[in-house]
A and B are shown apart, each in its own frame.
Chain A
Amino acid sequence: MHPIDMAAPTTTRISELLTRLTGDEKHAPSAYSTLDVLWVLYDRVLRTAPDRVDDPDRDRFLLSKGHGPAAYYAVLAAKGFIPEEWLDDLAGPDSRLGHHPDRLLVPGVEIGSGSLGHGLGLGVGTALGLRAQGLTDARVYVLTGDAELDEGANHEAIAYAGATGLASLTAIVIDNQSSTHGWPGGIARRFHGWTSSTVDGRDHDAIERGLRAHTGTAPHVVVAVVEKKG
């Protein structure tokens, strides 16, 4: 596994922002498992910006795996979606940032999440809604985890998107091998009818290549493998 390979100034910047988040974050390991993928998405891939959060044609990023959002908040702050000061009082009585994000409280957050297994269904609906309105440039990205895939609701969405060829949808599965019973045979093969890329979830160039590997004819899944949750 490669170490985080952000350019040094970026690493320092994100570290500073993470440090501003208070120390009572409950899901730190999973938070950091998403960090590199989130950075690549926001730095290289997503067609969105702080001044485009209401643009109908923006790409949508749906954090389904809503627990452990410290890395998400740090990236949103680094990219200017939220003020850095918001990081100082995580889940405090007046904070807009909780241990699970709320779309009505945080600019740029597309869905409120926390209960696992809701993001892919919402992502399918978002992709269908954009297509029905002719917004064909916008892509929908949903980030889940390997343990989150235990929730059956995901498989309703995976099966439907695969069978109907919902090509504007990309799922990203952070695989830190935390599913209690695992996914024998691998995660990507659960996504029937999808194209897939399995990448090193710490290698930014590999993550970017995986995210750009969709063909335009089928939904795409990127399995980003990181160190085992321990």
Chain B
Amino acid sequence: MRQTFVDTATALLDDDPRTAVVLADISGAAFAPAARAHPDRVVNVGIREQLMLGVAGGLALTGLRPIVHSYAPFVVDRAYEQIKLDLNHQGVGAVLVSIGASYDASSEGRTHQSPGDVALFDTLGGWTVHVPGHADEVGPLLTAAAAHDEPVYIRLSTQHNAEGRPTTGMQTIRRGSRAAVVAVGPMLDTVLAAMEGLDVTLAYTNTPRPFDVKGLRALGHSDVVLVEPYLAGTSSAVVSDALRDLPHRLLSLGVECVDLRRYGSPEDHARWQGLDAAGLRQSISAFVAPGGGPARGRG
């Protein structure tokens, strides 16, 4: 996904004089050819994330369309007030593109992990959030985002599905009768494996904000399982509100709000978080069983 992002952003710099890329050293080498071709529109501010967002706000104030990129904990968590004030409060937008996701950088430790990023955008309002599940989804999402002026966050990950599904709305993968399971972005293939033999509907979205409420309701289920690759419950309020006129049950699976203080691989973290196929199967099975309540898989 990261290489597709660099290739697409480089092409946008060539094609659209409004486009600018703002970096804080991360991926600087990958953008070196683009920086040589467009020295005024590829800005690497050094290891200065507050300035990276401030510069993006200033560029947008002059009418450019900044694409801002770093690790999720640096472009979002660290620069949160700059996102709030230098973009939202100024009434301008940007395209923020992160790598690292919740625990792609498992071996780097907590400092390089941002399970809370999508939740932070919910505190600001107005942001479109894309969580692509495959590299093939990155190009169309970024190209579409670069064409307007609204605030957009694109969360890239090294975790991915086998197949790209570029459509942004709710996509039905298969039909079942017991519940609807909504997999966000890179969670899809793991959820599919977890649901083997379970009589449930599976849907996919790479765009949790704005959440496709109409598409969710069209699935026709009052029992809903959300599987998100970031903080568990991030979309709970949105889904509860979408179903507020219906008696419904909701299970929200995702990354728990805890510093595990463990390294290992992303697969290890998925297992510890109950987000591998076995853990998901345990949680979803318990939820759809008669009288089923929330249970979390732990391995």
**CB <8 Å contact, A132 and B55:** no
Q: How far, in Å, is B289 (CB) from chain A's closest CB?
A: 51
Contacts of A160 in B (CB 8 A): 45-46, 48, 51
Given known pairs A118-B85, A122-B90, the reply for A129 and B54 (CB within 8 Å) is: no
**CB <8 Å contact, B62 and A133:** yes
**CB <8 Å contact, A122 and B62:** no
Q: Is the interface of A mostly helix, strand, loop or mixed?
A: helix
**CB <8 Å contact, B54 and A120:** yes
Interface centre among B51, B86, B91 (most CB of A within 10 A): B51
**CB <8 Å contact, B86 and A121:** yes
Within 8 A of A (CB), among B1-45: 17, 20, 40-41, 43, 45
> Is B283 in contact with chain A by the CB < 8 A criterion?
no
Alpha-carbon separation in the docked complex, A62 to B259 (Å): 41
Alpha-carbon separation in the docked complex, A157 to B51 (Å): 6
Given known pairs A160-B45, A160-B48, the reply for A112 and B85 (CB within 8 Å) is: yes
Partner pick for A157 among B20, B54, B81, B91, CB 8 A cutoff: B54
A interface bracket (residues with beta carbon within 8 Å of B): 20 to 34
**CB <8 Å contact, B40 and A132:** yes
Alpha-carbon separation in the docked complex, A103 to B90 (Å): 7
> Is B201 in contact with chain A by the CB < 8 A criterion?
no
Alpha-carbon separation in the docked complex, A132 to B20 (Å): 9
Q: How far, in Å, is B86 (CB) from chain A's closest CB?
A: 6
> Is B286 in contact with chain A by the CB < 8 A criterion?
no
Given known pairs A118-B54, A153-B54, A157-B51, the reply for A129 and B63 (CB within 8 Å) is: yes
> Is A128 in contact with chain B by the CB < 8 A criterion?
yes
Contacts of A152 in B (CB 8 A): 50
**CB <8 Å contact, B63 and A125:** no
Residue of B nearest to A140 (CB): B58
> Is A29 in contact with chain B by the CB < 8 A criterion?
no
> Is A130 in contact with chain B by the CB < 8 A criterion?
yes
> Is A20 in contact with chain B by the CB < 8 A criterion?
no
> Is A127 in contact with chain B by the CB < 8 A criterion?
yes
**CB <8 Å contact, A122 and B91:** no
> Is B82 in contact with chain A by the CB < 8 A criterion?
yes
Residue of A nearest to B89 (CB): A112
**CB <8 Å contact, B85 and A125:** no
> Is A83 in contact with chain B by the CB < 8 A criterion?
no
**CB <8 Å contact, A153 and B40:** no
Q: How far, in Å, is B159 (CB) from chain A's closest CB?
A: 32
> Is B64 in contact with chain A by the CB < 8 A criterion?
yes
> Is B56 in contact with chain A by the CB < 8 A criterion?
yes
Alpha-carbon separation in the docked complex, A159 to B46 (Å): 10
Contacts of A111 in B (CB 8 A): 61, 90
> Is B274 in contact with chain A by the CB < 8 A criterion?
no
**CB <8 Å contact, A122 and B54:** yes
Alpha-carbon separation in the docked complex, A212 to B63 (Å): 27
Interface centre among A117, A122, A131 (most CB of B within 10 A): A122
Within 8 A of A (CB), among B44-86: 45-46, 48, 50-51, 53-64, 66, 81-82, 85-86
Residue of B nearest to A113 (CB): B85
With A125-B58, A128-B59, A129-B60 already in contact, 4 other A-B pairs whose C-beta atoms are closer than 8 Å: A121-B55, A126-B62, A128-B55, A133-B17
List 25 A–B pairs whose Cβ atoms lie within 8 Å, in order of A's numbering.
A102-B89, A115-B85, A120-B54, A121-B53, A121-B57, A121-B86, A122-B57, A122-B86, A124-B54, A125-B56, A126-B58, A128-B55, A128-B59, A129-B20, A129-B58, A129-B62, A129-B63, A131-B40, A132-B20, A132-B59, A133-B17, A153-B54, A153-B82, A159-B46, A160-B45
**Residues of A that sit less than 8 Å from B by CB:** 56, 102-104, 110-112, 115, 117-118, 120-133, 135, 152-153, 156-157, 159-160
